Structure 1
Amino acid sequence: MPGNKAVAYQGPGRVEVVDIDYPTFELTDGPGVNPANVGRKVPHGAILRTVATNICGSDQHMVRGRTTAPEGLILGHEITGEVVETGSDVEFVKVGDIVSVPFNIACGRCRNCKERQTGICLNVNPDRPGSAYGYVDMGGWVGGQAEFVLVPYADFNLLPFPDKDQALEKILDLTMLSDIFPTGFHGATTAGVGVGSTVYVAGAGPVGLAAAASAQLLGAAVVVVGDLNADRLAQARSFGCETIDVSAGPVEDQLEQLLGVPEVDCGVDAVGFEARGHGVEAAREMPATVLNGLMTVTRAGGALGIPGLYVTGDPGAATQEAKVGSLSLRLGLGWAKSHAFTTGQCPVMKYHRGLMQAILHDKVAIAKAVNATPIPLDQAPQGYAEFDQGAARKYILDPNGYLGAAA
Structure 2
Amino acid sequence: MSGNRAVAYLKPGTVEVQTIDYPSLELRDGPGVAPENIGRTCRHGVILKVLATNICGSDQHMVRGRTTAPENLVLGHEITGEVIERGPDVEFTEVGDIVSVPFNIACGRCRNCKERKTGICLHVNPARPGAAYGYVDMGGWVGGQAEYAMVPYADFNLLRFPDREAARERLLDLAMLSDIFPTGFHGAVTAGAGVGSTVYVAGAGPVGLAAAASAQLLGAAVVFVGDLNAERLAQARSFGCETVDLTRGEPGEQIAEVLGEPEVDAAVDAVGFEARAHGADAEEAPATVLNSLMGLARAGGSIGVPGLYVTEDPGGIDADARTGSLKVRLGLGWAKSHSFTTGQCPVMTYHRQLSMAILHDRVRIARAVNAAVIPLEEAPRGYAEFDQGASRKYVLDPHGALNGVTAA
TM over 0.5: yes
Deviation at 1:405, TM superposition (A): 7.2
Aligned residues: 406
Q: For residues 216 and 2 of structure 2, what CA distance do their matches in structure 1 show?
A: 44
Counterpart secondary structure, 2:402:
helix
Counterpart secondary structure, 2:303:
strand
Aligned positions of 1:112-127 closer than 5 A:
112-127=112-127
Instruction: Give the TM-score of the pair, scaled to structure 2.
Output: 0.99
Partner of 1:374: 373
Instruction: Give the TM-score of the pair, scaled to structure 1.
Output: 0.99
8 A Cα contact 2:55 2:396, kept in partner:
yes
8 A Cα contact 1:48 1:150, kept in partner:
yes
8 A Cα contact 2:34 2:126, kept in partner:
yes
Aligned positions of 1:125-144 closer than 5 A:
125-144=125-144
Counterpart secondary structure, 2:11:
coil
8 A Cα contact 1:8 1:18, kept in partner:
yes
Deviation at 1:190, TM superposition (A): 0.2
Aligned positions of 1:77-156 closer than 5 A:
77-156=77-156
Partner of 2:261: 261
Partner of 1:160: 160
Please give the per-residue CA displacement for 1:139-188, whole angstroms capped at 9, x wherever unaligned.
00000000000000000000011111111110110000000000000000
Q: For residues 403 and 296 of structure 2, what CA distance do their matches in structure 1 show?
A: 44
Partner of 1:217: 217
**One-letter code of the match for 1:116?**
R
Partner of 2:356: 357
- Structure 1, unmatched stretches of 5+, are none
Q: For residues 405 and 293 of structure 1, what CA distance do their matches in structure 2 show?
A: 41
Q: For residues 165 and 42 of structure 1, what CA distance do their matches in structure 2 show?
A: 29
Deviation at 1:253, TM superposition (A): 1.1
**One-letter code of the match for 1:342?**
T
Q: For residues 251 and 26 of structure 2, what CA distance do their matches in structure 1 show?
A: 51
Q: For residues 42 and 103 of structure 2, what CA distance do their matches in structure 1 show?
A: 17
Partner of 1:58: 58
Partner of 1:316: 315
**Change in 2 beyond 3 A, CA 1:290/1:406:** closer
Deviation at 1:283, TM superposition (A): 2.0
Q: For residues 405 and 51 of structure 2, what CA distance do their matches in structure 1 show?
A: 10
8 A Cα contact 1:225 1:242, kept in partner:
yes
Deviation at 1:209, TM superposition (A): 0.1
Deviation at 1:300, TM superposition (A): 0.2
Deviation at 1:250, TM superposition (A): 1.6
Counterpart secondary structure, 1:402:
coil
* Amino-acid identity (%): 74
1:18 aligns with 2:18: yes
Counterpart secondary structure, 2:61:
helix
Q: For residues 374 and 405 of structure 1, what CA distance do their matches in structure 2 show?
A: 8
- Structure 2, unmatched stretches of 5+, are none
**One-letter code of the match for 1:302?**
G
8 A Cα contact 1:168 1:406, kept in partner:
no
Runs of 4+ in structure 1 displaced over 6 angstroms?
A: none
Please give the per-residue CA displacement for 1:349-407, whole angstroms capped at 9, x wherever unaligned.
00000000000000000000000000000000000000000000000000111111768
Deviation at 1:279, TM superposition (A): 2.1
Partner of 1:247: 247
Give the superposed CA RMSD: 0.9
1:4 aligns with 2:23: no
Counterpart secondary structure, 2:29:
coil
Q: For residues 36 and 250 of structure 2, what CA distance do their matches in structure 1 show?
A: 49
Counterpart secondary structure, 2:210:
helix
Please give the per-residue CA displacement for 1:284-337, whole angstroms capped at 9, x wherever unaligned.
100000000000010000000000000001000000000010000000000000
**One-letter code of the match for 2:297?**
T
1:298 aligns with 2:297: yes
Partner of 1:307: 306
Q: For residues 240 and 43 of structure 2, what CA distance do their matches in structure 1 show?
A: 47
8 A Cα contact 1:52 1:79, kept in partner:
yes
Partner of 2:287: 288
Please give the per-residue CA displacement for 1:80-135, whole angstroms capped at 9, x wherever unaligned.
00000000100000000000000000000000000000000000000000000000
Q: For residues 40 and 189 of structure 1, what CA distance do their matches in structure 2 show?
A: 36
Counterpart secondary structure, 2:81:
strand
**One-letter code of the match for 2:146?**
A
Counterpart secondary structure, 2:41:
coil
